């Protein structure tokens, strides 16, 4: 495995992690919305 392939693998891992973080933030936002609506009832 050469350096370029290694770097591409690292970049892919980082991008995957960023997607996970973005997904978690969206999930948290949705949960907060649901909780807020429940509180208003």
**Residue 9: what pLDDT?**
96
Q: What is the pLDDT of residues 1-41, one digit of tens each?
A: 799 999 999 999 999 999 999 999 999 999 999 999 988 86
Q: What is the pLDDT of residue 8?
A: 96
Eight-class DSSP state of 41:
-
What is the reported pTM? 0.57
2: left (phi over 0), alpha (psi -120 to 50) or beta: beta
Please give the pLDDT value at position 39: 86
pLDDT at 14: 95
DSSP-assigned letter for residue 12: H
Query: Distance between CA 5 and CA 12 in Å, rounded?
Result: 11
CA 30 to chain CA centroid, Å, is 14
């Amino acid at each position: 495995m050469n350096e370029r392939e290694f770097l591409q693998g690292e970049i892919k891992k980082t991008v995957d992690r960023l997607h996970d973080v973005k997904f978690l933030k969206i999930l948290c936002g949705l949960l907060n919305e649901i909780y807020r609506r429940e509180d208003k009832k």
